[in-house]
Structure 1
Amino acid sequence: MGQLSLADKMGNKQTTFSEEQLDNYVDTTFLAKAEILRVFKRFCEIQEPPVNLRSVTYEQLKQIVINYTELSKCPELKENPFRKRICRVFSSDDSASLTFDEFLNLYSIFSEKAPREMKVHYAFLIYDFDGDNFVGPTDIEHAVKLLTQNELAMEEIESIWEKVLYEADIDDDKKLSSSEFEHVITKSPDFITTFHFRI
């Protein structure tokens, strides 16, 4: 299978992906070819120094790892208070640095075509700061501090997590399981719109 010329889609000649490689990404993500190419362009642009879109080979691309400082320059992440946590969840080694495949997976999950259950699953991982498979008081405290930029007093934060647990903790074990978390987050009308990147 020959290399794909992307001149029509990207406005420049670039031969990083073969048709087969692109088709494989379409099959394993919730993204269309044009979206994959836009994510690829973004990945190359945010690296210091930027990667040359026209000359990077697929093998070279697979070797690139972008660190958190560079990732936080992405327009979709820059203003998000959870950006570091999001990067850590999508990085295989918890470092908040991402390979191209991990970066693509991040954009795939935040795309509008990703199913709600998948978004809920990743939202749970993002909120589970301590990685114990539950969202407990300290996890909620972390989230509230990020969302409010540390502007609330400790008593106010405690009041918030107590209210969340009171409303969502069905088995009264002082923490939310993934199903309890799903129950509460899917009732939020804003969830799908906030868990979304426009690519």
Structure 2
Amino acid sequence: MGASSSVFTNEELQEYSELTFFSKKEVIHVFEKFVELDPEILANRKGYRLSMEKVCQMPELKVNPFSDRICRVFSTSESFDGSLSFEDFLDMMSVFSDQAPKGLKVEYAFKVYDFNEDDLLDTEDIEMIVTRLTGSAGALEENEMEQLLMNLMQEADLDDDGQLSYAEFEHVISKSPDFLNSFKIRL
């Protein structure tokens, strides 16, 4: 761990700690996870970006049906390729940490589920969510999907506009005690 801590100045560690839900020691641990995904990082630390493919190989994301969306939401890449800088990776890990407040997790979950990135969850977004969650083996028949979408909208679409706003999504999630368990990555 001594080699990892020398990668950052004390000021950088302090700043990262202030901007996340991590202690300085945990920031170093996150950096070690980042390096594990591609050891070339140490030679090219400044400006280095992990490809989305490498990030998605993390055990915590490998089985997550939304791993590509998670990378895209946290990526600041100008090429929109889902690659993550260390700061992007640190932000992602911070939001998924146990210390992050539920409201922040809900905000990022909404962004992850908003496939067309229009700040609303419409039936196409929800169909994508269901399809990813059920996988090809558990794929729903067309009539089953239509019924599911209709039931969900009937329950969650409070203003009957055919889509879920962030406030409506937040309301639905508030009824789900298991949500926090599904939106975390342990260090």
Normalising by structure 2, we get a TM-score of: 0.92
Question: 2:123 touches 2:162 (CA, 8 Å); kept in 1?
Answer: yes
Amino acid at match of 2:171: H
> Of 15, 21, 28, which residue of structure 1 is paired with 2:12?
21
1:155 paired with 2:143, answer: yes
Give ranges in structure 1 of 5+ residues lacking alignment: 1-5
Cα distance in 1 between the residues matched to 2:163 and 2:130: 16
1:20-52 residue CA offsets vs partner (Å, 9 max, x unmatched): 1101000001112222111101111112xx237
SS in 2 for 1:62: coil
- Give the length in aligned residue pairs: 183
> Which structure: greater helix fraction?
2
Give the superposition deviation at 1:100: 0.6
Cα distance in 1 between the residues matched to 2:144 and 2:123: 13
Question: 2:17 touches 2:23 (CA, 8 Å); kept in 1?
Answer: yes
Tell me the residue number matched to 2:174. Answer: 186
Amino acid at match of 1:28: L
1:36-94 residue CA offsets vs partner (Å, 9 max, x unmatched): 111101111112xx2375xx5xxx42311111111111111111111001101111243
Question: 2:48 touches 2:86 (CA, 8 Å); kept in 1?
Answer: yes
Give the superposition deviation at 1:13: 6.6
1:45 paired with 2:29, answer: no
Cα distance in 2 between the residues matched to 1:45 and 1:97: 16
Give the superposed CA RMSD. 1.5
Tell me the residue number matched to 1:117. Answer: 103
Amino acid at match of 2:179: F
Give the superposition deviation at 1:154: 2.3
Tell me the residue number matched to 1:3. Answer: none
Give ranges in structure 2 of 5+ residues lacking alignment: none
Identity %: 43
Cα distance in 1 between the residues matched to 2:10 and 2:97: 22
Cα distance in 1 between the residues matched to 2:70 and 2:149: 21
Normalising by structure 1, we get a TM-score of: 0.87
> Of 47, 51, 71, which residue of structure 2 is paired with 1:87?
71
Question: 2:4 touches 2:31 (CA, 8 Å); kept in 1?
Answer: no
1:32 paired with 2:9, answer: no
Tell me the residue number matched to 1:69. Answer: 53
**Cα–Cα, structure 1 residues 101 and 153, in superposed 2: closer, same or farther, change >3 Å?**
same
**Cα–Cα, structure 1 residues 120 and 52, in superposed 2: closer, same or farther, change >3 Å?**
closer
Cα distance in 2 between the residues matched to 1:158 and 1:198: 36
Give the superposition deviation at 1:179: 0.3
Cα distance in 2 between the residues matched to 1:154 and 1:38: 46
Give the superposition deviation at 1:167: 0.4
Give the superposition deviation at 1:115: 1.1
Question: 1:62 touches 1:100 (CA, 8 Å); kept in 2?
Answer: no
